[in-house]
């Protein structure tokens, strides 16, 4: 408890304050408020009492009046008045009743209307329920249908899957079979080549014996006498005969002549299996000619190109044929049914050469747009593009696997490509534009026809030119003149501008023969791989098959 | 500690007689209404004590104004309901005490720019509680109020509303305790009003810089350095100038925990 003077002063002031402000008025105000309340309650009481008084007075006068006679009159009057009031009330009641009746009638009418509406609505509802029921039934039906269809669909899907699996398996088998087939064909070819070699060996043997024999005869004859020198001439003739026999495969006469195309014939190729020759011409067609029966018989016309065909090539089984066209595309047909299988578009220039790349599902094309493209026929797309830098006139693929490609170009170069690398592996520079390339069967020699009117023989093992063939009258006819090795690689042939086909001996470099029958420049030649038949085509529409059928 | 029960009790018991009269232009009856006399606690607020008076006067005003808010004036000055009644009396009639206090009751032309609206007693409660909180923030950084429970807050308010001294002070004494090691509050919640009604509120510490207790005189010298003989009145008394501020705040604060001092 603190304190001091200030506290005492505050306390006394407060006490004074309360005394002055509160204590002085407290009782007064309480008394006043009590009086105030009293006044209010008395006022209310007063009011109630006045009301009561009024009521009592009213009933009091009534009771006072009934006592006297005059009062009865007044009473009758009062009663009459009452009756009057009652009558008035009655009439007003009647009036009200009439009004009510009218109201009831109108209400009845309304009820009637509403009932009608209700009936109509009922009918509509029943109709709608019927419709709903039918719709429900329909829905049910459709649902069952749907479930059935779904089941069916499931079954079909399962079947489809099973078939797909079976299909995949069969396709696999097919592929294996094709591979086997290819290997078998390769083996067959190898055996055939061996046979041919053996035959050649035997022939040589035979000829050797014969020449020996002739020589012996000549020696004998020489020994006999000089007077019979005139006989020696005949014996020389015999030698020549025997030599010509030795070159039995050398074609000497035209076996068949026919008009192959309307216009220029650009390409010719023998089928590797049949006696079937394919030609491609400026009339946008590739034609297949069957010469097996000593007469020429058209076996089919492969259409689809939109411009002249520049090159044709069979695959190793002879089942497919690829044609390169000036319309920037290459096309693959099947030989058996002559249907167009693939159209390979993507080059931006004429396609000059198209070859199968080892297997029948790969194609390589060389184009005027200075690129080479490799196509996969299974996926139908270009798998690789090689930028050669110069327009490609011809190309060859070196081996069965097709891993090396050799292309001849407008810029006088022969380029070597490895399929696995992007860039050119090697190249050889020649004296003129390379118009065509051909590879010997043993893949050791490359034949290049050059625009400087020479044929170059290149040894691929050393990448050098081993021999050059030329003749004073031999002129290369066009930029895509095709030269070709004969069967066994002993002969080579090429068409010239003067309409002749020149045949050289590969080993000796001797010009064996000039087959002249065409009237215009010979564009392409092709040797039949087994029989030694030579096919040549010219810038007119003519094709000629040389040799003995 | 507010332990001087005598002072507290005297302050609490202070009441004022008030005479309410209805404004002349609002009387709609032929009969003049009687003036309404009532004793009101100085520490209370007008909205808490005018229910009966309002009922009385409602009979004499036009029916369309019966829902509109009631307000009071003294000599044409509207009375702010959010100040304690005793403080309003000190401010308006402190120099010229006239008892009973004559106030005029209005039901129309509410002075929107002067008064706050007060639709019911919840508004008064909200205002009261927020003022107590403000004072607590000044005194204890708000620690006491925030540790109190809702029922304590209710008890504080009901004690004031029902004029119950013990009920109120049971809670209020906790607000008047000083916390921490140093005796006294952080700051004194104080509002100073000049006689033209303008209010100023300053941060006032209960101690001088040297740690001694600050007296009222010292505070006045700090706040009004250019004025002399300044006197301060609250609860109807003039406070001696040597009263310590801490004691003053503990004992002479209004229930909202503020010291409302009139300067003259």
Residues of B in contact with A26 (CB under 8 A): 15, 39
Q: How far apart (Å, rounded) are the C-alpha atoms in residues A178 and A47?
A: 131
A519 and chain B in contact, CB less than 8 A: no
Of the partner residues A13, A32, A33, the one whose CB lies closest to the CB of residue B237: A13
A415 has which bridge partners? A407, A427
pLDDT digits (tens, 9 = 90+) for B28-87: 877 788 888 888 998 999 888 888 888 888 888 887 877 788 888 888 888 888 889 988
Residues of A in contact with B247 (CB under 8 A): 2
Same structural domain, A77 and A174:
yes
Mean pLDDT of A481-485: 90
pLDDT at residue A62 is higher than 70: no
Give a yes or no: residue A285 inside a domain.
yes
Q: Among A338-342, A464-468, B204-208, which is the least confidently predicted range? A: B204-208
Give a yes or no: residue A25 inside a domain.
yes
Give a yes or no: residue A215 inside a domain.
no
pLDDT at residue A3 is higher than 80: no
Same structural domain, A375 and A473:
yes
pLDDT digits (tens, 9 = 90+) for A350-370: 999 999 887 888 899 999 999
pLDDT digits (tens, 9 = 90+) for B109-143: 888 888 888 888 889 899 999 999 998 888 888 88
Residues of B in contact with A14 (CB under 8 A): 7, 10-11, 14, 235-237
Residue A484, sorted as left (phi over 0), alpha (psi -120 to 50) or beta, turns out to be beta
Q: What is the CA radius of gyration of chain B?
A: 20
Give a yes or no: residue A376 inside a domain.
yes
Return phi, psi of residue A144, to 5°. Answer: -60, -45
Count of domains forming chain A:
2
The pLDDT mean for chain A works out to 87
Give a yes or no: residue A435 inside a domain.
yes
Q: What pLDDT does B79 receive?
A: 87
Residues of A in contact with B39 (CB under 8 A): 22, 25-26, 29-30
Last residue of a domain, one of A156, A173, A190: A190
pLDDT at residue A428 is higher than 60: yes
Q: Among A73-82, A434-443, B178-187, which is the least confidently predicted range? A: B178-187
Order of strands, sheet of A286-290, starting from the edge strand that comes earlier in the sequence: A265-270, A276-281, A286-290, A297-302
Same structural domain, A367 and A453:
yes
Residues of B in contact with A9 (CB under 8 A): 240
A3 and chain B in contact, CB less than 8 A: yes
Taking CB atoms and an 8 Å limit, are B242 and A30 in contact across chains? no
Band of the pLDDT at A8, cuts 50, 70, 90? confident
Q: What pLDDT does A247 receive?
A: 44
Q: Which carries the bigger pLDDT value, residue A232 or residue A197?
A: A197
Same structural domain, A270 and A180:
no
Least Cα separation, residue A57 to chain B (angstroms): 28
CATH code of A438's domain: 2.130.10.10
Same structural domain, A314 and A404:
yes
Find out if CATH 3.90.1150.10 is the number for domain B7-106.
no
Q: Domain containing A40: what range?
A: 1-55+73-190
The pLDDT mean for chain B works out to 84
* Chain B residues touching chain A at CB-CB below 8 Å: 3-4, 6-7, 10-11, 13-17, 34, 36-39, 99-100, 235-240, 242-243, 247, 252
Give a yes or no: residue A202 inside a domain.
no
pLDDT at residue B169 is higher than 80: yes
Q: What pLDDT does A67 receive?
A: 52
Closest residue in A to B243 (Cα) is: A6
Last residue of a domain, one of A159, A190, A221: A190
Q: What pLDDT does A235 receive?
A: 47
Nearest CA among B135, B179, B187 for reference residue B156 = B135
Q: What pLDDT does A330 receive?
A: 93
Taking CB atoms and an 8 Å limit, are A25 and B100 in contact across chains? yes
Same structural domain, A312 and A171:
no
Which sign, positive or negative, has the C-alpha torsion A127, A130, A136, A138? negative
Least Cα separation, residue A43 to chain B (angstroms): 13
pLDDT digits (tens, 9 = 90+) for A109-168: 999 999 999 999 999 999 999 999 999 999 999 999 999 999 999 999 999 999 999 999
Q: What pLDDT does A151 receive?
A: 95
pLDDT at residue A380 is higher than 50: yes
**C-beta neighbour count of A179 within 10 angstroms:** 11
Of the partner residues B14, B243, B252, the one whose CB lies closest to the CB of residue A22: B14
Least Cα separation, residue B16 to chain A (angstroms): 6
Q: How far apart (Å, rounded) are the C-alpha atoms in residues A32 and B19?
A: 11
Same structural domain, A301 and A166:
no
Taking CB atoms and an 8 Å limit, are B7 and A14 in contact across chains? yes
A21 and chain B in contact, CB less than 8 A: yes
Give a yes or no: residue A370 inside a domain.
yes
Return phi, psi of residue A258, to 5°. Answer: -155, 160
Kindly report the CA angle at A513 between A508 and A514, in degrees rounded to 5?
A: 135
Q: What pLDDT does A242 receive?
A: 42
Q: Are strands A522-527 and A534-538 parallel, antiparallel or unpaired?
A: antiparallel
- Contact (CB, 8 A) for B115 and B80: yes
Taking CB atoms and an 8 Å limit, are A14 and B239 in contact across chains? no
What is the residue whose two structure tokens read 């000190």?
A: B90
What is the residue whose two structure tokens read 């006819």?
A: A477
- Contact (CB, 8 A) for A333 and A341: yes
pLDDT more than 90, % of chain A: 48
pLDDT at residue A232 is higher than 50: no
Taking CB atoms and an 8 Å limit, are A21 and B243 in contact across chains? no
What tokens does A21 get?
């402000």
pLDDT at residue A490 is higher than 60: yes
Last residue of a domain, one of A164, A190, A216: A190
The four Cα atoms B239, B242, B243, B244 give a dihedral, to 10 degrees, of: 150
Give a yes or no: residue A239 inside a domain.
no
Q: What is the CA radius of gyration of chain A?
A: 62
């Amino acid at each position: 408890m603190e304190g001091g003077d200030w506290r005492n002063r505050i306390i006394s002031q407060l006490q004074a304050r309360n005394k002055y402000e509160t204590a002085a008025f407290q009782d007064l105000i309480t008394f006043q408020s009590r009086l105030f309340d009293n006044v209010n309650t008395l006022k209310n009481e007063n009011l109630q009492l006045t009301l009561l008084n009024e009521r009592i007075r009213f009933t009091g006068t009534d009771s006072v009046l009934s006592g006297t006679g005059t009062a009865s009159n007044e009473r009758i009057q009062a009663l009459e008045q009452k009756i009057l009031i009652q009558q008035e009330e009655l009439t007003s009641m009647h009036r009200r009743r009439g009004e009510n009746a009218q109201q009831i009638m109108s209400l009845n009418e309304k009820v009637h209307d509403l009932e009608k509406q209700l009936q109509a609505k009922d009918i509509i509802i029943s109709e709608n329920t019927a419709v709903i029921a039918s719709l429900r039934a329909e829905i049910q039906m459709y649902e069952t249908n749907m479930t059935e269809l779904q089941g069916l669909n499931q079954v079909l899907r399962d079947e489809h899957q099973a078939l797909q699996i079976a299909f995949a398996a069969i396709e696999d088998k097919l592929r294996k079979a094709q591979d086997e087939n290819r290997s078998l064909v390769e083996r067959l070819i190898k055996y055939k080549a061996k046979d041919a070699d053996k035959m050649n060996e035997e022939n040589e043997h035979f000829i050797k014996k014969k020449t020996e024999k002739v020589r012996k005869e000549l020696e004998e004859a020489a020994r006999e006498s000089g007077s019979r020198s005139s006989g020696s001439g005949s014996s020389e003739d015999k030698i020549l005969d025997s030599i010509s026999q030795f070159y039995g495969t050398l074609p000497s006469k035209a076996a068949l002549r026919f008009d192959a195309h309307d216009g220029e014939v650009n390409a010719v190729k023998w089928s590797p299996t049949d006696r079937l020759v394919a030609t491609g011409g400026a009339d946008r067609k590739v034609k297949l000619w069957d010469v097996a029966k000593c007469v020429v018989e058209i076996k089919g016309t492969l259409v689809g190109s939109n411009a002249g065909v520049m090159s044709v090539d069979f695959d190793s089984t002879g089942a497919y044929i690829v044609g390169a066209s000036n319309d920037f595309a290459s096309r693959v047909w099947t030989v058996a049914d002559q249907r167009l299988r693939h159209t390979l578009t993507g080059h931006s220039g004429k396609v000059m050469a198209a070859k199968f790349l080892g297997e029948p599902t790969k194609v390589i094309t060389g184009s005027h747009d200075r690129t080479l493209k490799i196509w996969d026929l299974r996926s139908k797309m270009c798998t690789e593009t090689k930028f050669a830098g110069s327009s490609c006139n011809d190309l060859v693929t070196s081996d069965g696997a097709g891993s090396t490609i050799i292309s001849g170009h407008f810029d006088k170069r022969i380029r070597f490509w490895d399929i696995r690398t992007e860039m050119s592996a090697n190249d050889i520079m020649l004296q003129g534009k390379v118009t065509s390339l051909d590879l010997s069967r043993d893949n050791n020699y490359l034949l290049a026809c050059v625009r400087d009117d020479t044929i170059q023989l290149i040894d691929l093992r050393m990448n050098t030119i081993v021999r050059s063939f030329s003749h004073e009258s031999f002129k290369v006819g066009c930029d895509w003149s095709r030269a070709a090795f004969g069967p066994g690689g002993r002969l080579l042939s090429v068409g010239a501008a003067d309409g002749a086909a020149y045949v050289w001996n590969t080993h000796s470099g001797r010009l064996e023969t000039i087959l002249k029958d065409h009237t215009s420049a010979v564009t392409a030649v092709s040797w039949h791989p087994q029989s030694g038949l030579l096919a040549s085509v010219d810038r007119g529409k003519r094709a000629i098959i040389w040799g003995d059928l | 500690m507010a332990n001087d029960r005598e002072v507290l009790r005297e302050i609490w018991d202070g009441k004022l007689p008030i005479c309410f009269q209805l404004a002349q232009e609002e009387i709609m009856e032929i009969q003049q209404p009687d003036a309404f006399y009532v004793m009101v606690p100085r520490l209370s607020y007008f909205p808490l004590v005018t229910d009966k008076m309002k009922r009385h006067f409602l009979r004499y005003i036009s029916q369309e104004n019966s829902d509109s808010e009631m307000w009071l004036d003294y000599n044409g000055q509207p009375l702010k309901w959010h100040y304690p009644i005793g403080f309003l009396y000190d401010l308006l009639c402190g120099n010229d005490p006239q008892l009973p206090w004559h106030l005029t009751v209005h039901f129309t032309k509410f002075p929107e720019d002067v008064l706050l609206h007060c639709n019911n007693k919840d508004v008064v409660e909200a205002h009261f509680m927020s003022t107590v909180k403000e004072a607590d923030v000044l005194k204890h950084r708000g620690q006491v109020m925030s540790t109190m429970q809702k029922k304590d807050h209710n008890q504080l308010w009901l004690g004031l509303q029902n004029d119950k001294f013990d009920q109120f002070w049971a809670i209020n004494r906790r607000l008047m305790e000083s916390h921490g090691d140093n005796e006294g509050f952080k700051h004194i919640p104080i509002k100073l009003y000049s006689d033209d009604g303008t209010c100023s509120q300053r941060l006032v510490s209960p101690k001088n810089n040297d740690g001694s207790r600050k007296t009222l005189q010292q505070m006045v010298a700090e706040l009004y350095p250019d004025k002399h003989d300044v006197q301060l009145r609250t609860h109807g008394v003039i406070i001696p100038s040597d009263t310590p501020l801490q004691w003053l705040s503990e004992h002479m604060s209004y229930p909202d925990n503020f010291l409302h001092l009139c300067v003259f």
